Chain A
Amino acid sequence: MQNILEIDSLSIGYNGNAILKPITWAAAKGDMIALTGSNGLGKSTLLRVLSGRTRPISGTVRLMGADIHTFTPKQRAKLVSIVLTERPEDMFLKVKDVVASGRFPYSGLFGKISENDEKHIKASLEVIGINHLINKDFTSLSDGERQKVMIAKAIAQDTPLILMDEPMAFLDYKSRIEIFELMTKMTSEEGKTVIFSSHDLDLVNRYCEKQWNLEKWAVS
């Protein structure tokens, strides 16, 4: 089976100074991988490199077999989606607007929502189980609900790889369980590859077979 993501002797850092030893990993379709390690180690930086937003110091990230930087931003937008800790803040944004933004890589000049897009949006809300929220103002939702909407956006973006930075941050225990259940569903049923960073070792151990621990590569 082809690997969705291949990381080859990747060295990341700032201003040319590596913060981690070179890493070589691979993720296959349907993998749910937890990125663990203590704070400030570079989990967020690694996720940014994996999403193609930041360039590595050396080494390559291959997406569907090709170097991630050989894709145009628009092509990349159809291969990898992200869920970050930052949230949209505009008070007139509807849940539907946020989820629909996942369809921008597929829409035309004015971003008009096609019937096909409409189907994708409905389906993603369905998967996450938040159809009832569709016409709510995004800023009126609870933290857990917002996180689910952002995940629905990532699903609507229809990419084989989804990267999540601290998806459990700020959530209560019940919501965290829900998110883990969702990620399991997305990987096993929808065939997505999910890589997420987390501190929640108990739940990670319970839900994830694969873990990438950054600590081992810390520079001494």
Chain B
Amino acid sequence: MNTSNKLTIIYFITAFLVGIALFALNILVGSVHIPLREALQVIFNKDNSSALHVIIFDYRFPQAVTALLSGAALAVAGLMMQTLFRNPLADPSILGISSGAGLGVASVILVSGSLAVIPHWTALTITSSAFFGAVVVLAVITLLSRRLNSMVMLIIIGIMIAYLTGAITDILKYFSRKEEIHAFVIWGLGDFSAVGTSNLDFYTVTIIAGLLCGMLLSKTLNMLIIGESYAENLGLNIRRATAFTIAVSGFLTAVVTAFCGPIAFLGLAVPHLARFIFHSSNHIILTPASALIGADLALACNLIARLPGLEETLPINAVTALIGAPIVIYVIFRYRK
């Protein structure tokens, strides 16, 4: 085994251990201070009536699992987009999938008016409308990708769709009442607790299925990264590969966005971080690496968003951007050297 392989394994193990540590911290730390001994007692005791038990098992645990899965999903989706479009700025939102989800939510919260002044009653509706909006955009893009040869055109169309859906959302907002706009703004801030224990099984299965599909596309992505013409010459059906890649990465984005809102920056930043740390372009390595680092980063962001001493949770979307932007800047500076 050569040194670069050894290093790769060491990095994987490190990322995994960091993930475990961050997960534990997510369970143990929050705005309510629970001393370690007491927390351990709550975790290992069967008594499930205390408020602390509720806080740990019904609030912190599903939130940590959601953060972990969402981070992994967005990172892998971003990696696939960046490779497919050979564009370092591509991320799951570039094809308008997040804006599609936003329009879906906007039409429920804003158009249905009094139906949703208190959006919590329609959380399920919000999830399904976000998913619906995302999937419609996804379907349009996937269909177009089979008819268009040029990735650049596809990106432009994606951005245009994002503008269109964004504009419609803005118009809806303009004609809406304060409460409704507020509800929409809050959805836009992102929320890892929205999955909760009741949807956690579904979320876990769906995201893991998406991640496995992403893993199965590793060879396709390894071919695409050499160049489209070469990939085609190597036996790849480009249009089908493009459609599959968009579908899988769009699906992951749609599921995460539907439940947690548009989580910014993880999809853009993590693939760069993964390439930079693992110094590889091989997706057999990069896909699991992005998933791990994405999970780690999301857990870290979730921890920062709920730092003890803070009465309120910071919006997760702000934290991911605050952490993500410097990472991208740092990596770009290091790339240049």
Q: Indicate whether A and B are direct neighbours in the complex (CB within 8 Å).
A: yes
- A123-162 contacts to B, CB under 8 A, are 135, 153, 157
Query: What is the CA–CA distance of A91 and B222 in the complex, to the nearest angstrom?
Result: 13
Q: How far is the CA of A128 from the CA of B95 in the complex (A)?
A: 42
Q: What residue in chain B is nearest A77 (Cβ atoms)?
A: B235
With a cutoff of 8 Å between Cβ atoms, the chain B residues found around residue A102 in the complex are 234
Within B182-231, the residues touching A (CB, 8 Å) are: 216, 218-219, 222-223, 225-227, 229-230
Interface window among A32-40, A60-68, A92-100, A194-202: A92-100
Stretch at the interface among A7-15, A78-86, A114-122, A209-217: A78-86
Is B237 interfacial (CB 8 A cutoff)?
yes
If A92-B279, A102-B234 touch, whether A110 touches B229 (CB-CB below 8 Å) is no
Query: By the criterion CB–CB under 8 Å, are A105 and B227 in contact?
Result: no
Check B170 for interface membership: any CB of A closer than 8 A. Answer: no
Which residues 272-300 of B have a CB within 8 angstroms of A? 275, 279-282, 284
Given contacts A53-B233, A97-B281, A157-B234, whether A88 and B227 have CB atoms under 8 Å apart is yes
Smallest Cβ-Cβ distance to B86: which chain A residue: A89
Q: Does the CB pair A97–B282 fall under 8 Å? A: yes
A3 at the interface (CB under 8 A from B): no
- Residue-wise interface mask of A (53-79) relative to B, using a CB-CB cutoff of 8 A (1 in contact, 0 not): 100000000000000000011111100
Closest to B275 in A: A92
Q: Are A80 and B335 in contact (CB under 8 A)?
A: no
Identify the closest chain A residue to B229 (Cβ). A84
Q: CA–CA, A84 to B227, complex, Å?
A: 10
Contact among A77, A92, A105, A111 with B218 in the assembled complex (CB-CB below 8 Å): A111
Residue of A nearest to B276 (CB): A92
Looking at the assembled complex, report how far the CB atom of B240 sits from the nearest CB atom of chain A, in whole angstroms. 10
Q: In the complex, A87→B219 CA distance in Å?
A: 19
Compute how far the CA of A165 lies from the CA of B281 in the bound complex, rounded to whole angstroms: 26
Q: Which residues of A contact B4 (CB under 8 A)?
A: 135
Q: What are the residues of chain A within 8 A of B157 when measuring CB–CB? A: none
Q: Does A90 interact with chain B (Cβ within 8 Å)? A: yes
Contact between B233 and A77 (Cβ–Cβ < 8 Å)? yes
With A89-B86, A92-B280, A111-B222 known to touch, is A101 a contact of B230 (CB < 8 Å)? yes
Q: How far is the CB of B226 from chain A (nearest CB, A)?
A: 5
B234–A104 touching, CB < 8 Å: yes
Pairwise interchain contact B229-A53, C-beta atoms closer than 8 A? yes
Decide yes or no: A82 and B222 within 8 Å by CB, A92-B279, A97-B282, A105-B235 being known contacts.
no
Report whether A77 and B234 are in contact in the complex, using a CB–CB cutoff of 8 Å: yes
Residues in B with CB closer than 8 Å to A188 are none
We find that the number of chain A residues with CB closer than 8 angstroms to chain B is 35
Chain B residue nearest to A112 (CB atoms) is B284
Question: What B residues does A187 contact at CB under 8 A?
Answer: none
Q: Does A109 contact B (CB under 8 A)?
A: yes
List of A residues within 8 angstroms of B234 by Cβ:
77, 101-102, 104-105, 157
- Does B236 sit at the interface, judged by CB under 8 A? yes
Bound together, the chains give a CA A91 to CA B230 distance in angstroms of 17
Identify which of B232, B234, B335 gathers the most chain A CB atoms within 10 Å of its CB.
Answer: B234
Q: How far is the CA of A87 from the CA of B237 in the complex (A)?
A: 20
B residues 225-260 near A (Cβ < 8 Å) are: 225-227, 229-230, 232-237
Q: How far is the CA of A86 from the CA of B284 in the complex (A)?
A: 24
Contacts of A104 in B (CB 8 A): 219, 222-223, 234-236
The reply to whether B235 and A76 form a contact with Cβ atoms under 8 Å apart is yes
Q: Which residues of A contact B279 (CB under 8 A)?
A: 92
Contact A73 B237 (CB under 8 A): yes
Report B-chain residues with C-beta under 8 Å of the C-beta of A87.
227
Question: Which residue in A53, A88, A97, A98 is a CB contact (below 8 Å) of B232?
Answer: A53
Of A73, A82, A89, A93, the contact of B229 (CB 8 Å cutoff): A82
Across the interface, B216 reaches (CB within 8 A) one of A80, A81, A109, namely: A109
Contact partners of B225 in chain A: CB under 8 A: 88, 90, 93
Q: Which residues of A contact B335 (CB under 8 A)?
A: 91
A-B contact pairs, 30 of them (CB 8 A): A53-B229, A72-B235, A73-B235, A73-B237, A74-B235, A75-B235, A77-B235, A82-B229, A84-B229, A87-B227, A90-B281, A91-B335, A92-B280, A93-B225, A94-B281, A97-B281, A101-B222, A101-B226, A101-B230, A104-B219, A104-B222, A104-B236, A107-B219, A109-B216, A110-B218, A110-B219, A110-B284, A111-B218, A111-B223, A112-B284
* Extra contacts besides A73-B236, A92-B281, A104-B223 (5): CB < 8 Å: A74-B235, A87-B227, A92-B280, A98-B226, A111-B284
Chain B interface (Cβ within 8 Å of chain A)?
Answer: 4, 86, 216, 218-219, 222-223, 225-227, 229-230, 232-237, 275, 279-282, 284, 335
Question: Which residues does A use to contact B, with CB under 8 Å?
Answer: 51, 53, 72-77, 80-82, 84, 86-94, 97-98, 101-102, 104-105, 107, 109-112, 135, 153, 157
